[in-house]
Homo-oligomer: A and B are copies of this chain.
């Protein structure tokens, strides 16, 4: 079905069904000049926005609408997670080329709505328009958190332990499979693909961490671990020492790196789009938090390094050699 057959308002009617799933605190949902909702006393409002552009962030022919919608929301939820917030309302702007079928777009909204439902996020509005060539999606997500419980980038302190909430490099490996047309013919490869196509937003985990005494700084790993940790180091005006042997690497990535002859820790360090949380915890609180996190989520957090006062980002290699890490993450204009 073509969009010109149902028109802009027909399309909006079609995709906005089931967007309001938590009507409490919502004064106006889709359909007016702006959405209106109330925040709760003592809570700060968090707002993040991410723009995904065809041929830059995704290849339309290589991704299902569902996965594209899912990921477009996931990357925003991940930002709210990294602030220690609860995600509440989402706003989807979409620019659609004529070549895009209504069915693909419905699938895309299904992907957004499915993830939104999992975290009780309303879709309260957005904008729908045309595009000449590329499909473009901008999602803005509003979250909230108690005012004294947000996690920032500029609050790491020397002596803190640096953690990752999950494996690193899996998403990059998934992308490698897609770009090189390698069939995902094993469970390991299918999981790498999933890490790339449907990244997990660590929302509950971020909220949990933000409530704990001793958790100082956090960021989500979107551009690559070394690049994102670089933001924490720079904004907190501290140094950092990472241990290559401690970078958490999944069995799936190990298998992948063996097969394609990559160095797994280097792969994980320079990855990107993992959307795990990288965070720092005061040494005193570290053990308690590791234990409580395990109790709460039945998952581990991984010590990958520590905050120093050196002002440098250092990587301790397996042979004991210390290398200076330069940010090897993604720069949209330099590549």
Q: Which A residues contact B (CB, under 8 angstroms)?
A: 3-4, 6-9, 11, 27-28, 31-39, 41, 43-51, 53-57, 79-80, 82-83, 85, 89, 91, 93-96, 124-134, 136, 138, 140, 142-143, 145, 147, 150, 152-154, 218-220, 235, 331-334
In the bound assembly, the distance between CA atoms of A235 and B13 in angstroms comes to 13
Task: Find out whether the CB atom of A140 lies under 8 angstroms from the CB atom of B91.
Answer: yes
List chain B residues, Cβ under 8 A from A31: 153-154, 235
Chain B residues whose CB sits within 8 angstroms of the CB of A41 once the complex forms: 41
Alpha-carbon distance between A53 and B124 when the two chains are bound, in angstroms: 22
A129-B56, A132-B133 given as contacts; is B138 within 8 A of A34 (CB)? no
Contact of A136 among B9, B27, B51, B147 (CB under 8 A): B51
Number of copies: 2
Which among B51, B82, B130 is the interface contact of A333 at CB below 8 angstroms?
A: B130
Are A51 and B153 in contact, CB atoms less than 8 angstroms apart? Answer: no
Q: A134-B134, A152-B28 are in contact. Are A34 and B57 (CB under 8 A)?
A: no
Q: Determine whether the beta carbon of A36 is less than 8 Å from that of B83.
A: yes
> Which B residues touch A44, using CB under 8 A?
27, 36-38
Distance from A33 Cβ to chain B, minimum over Cβ atoms (Å): 4
Chain B nearest Cβ from A124, distance in angstroms: 7
When chains A and B are docked, how far (Å) is the Cα of A1 from the Cα of B140?
Answer: 30
Contacts of A333 in B (CB 8 A): 3-4, 6-8, 11, 96, 130
Q: With a CB–CB cut-off of 8 A, which chain B residues contact A56?
A: 95, 129-132
Are A57 and B150 within 8 A (Cβ)? no
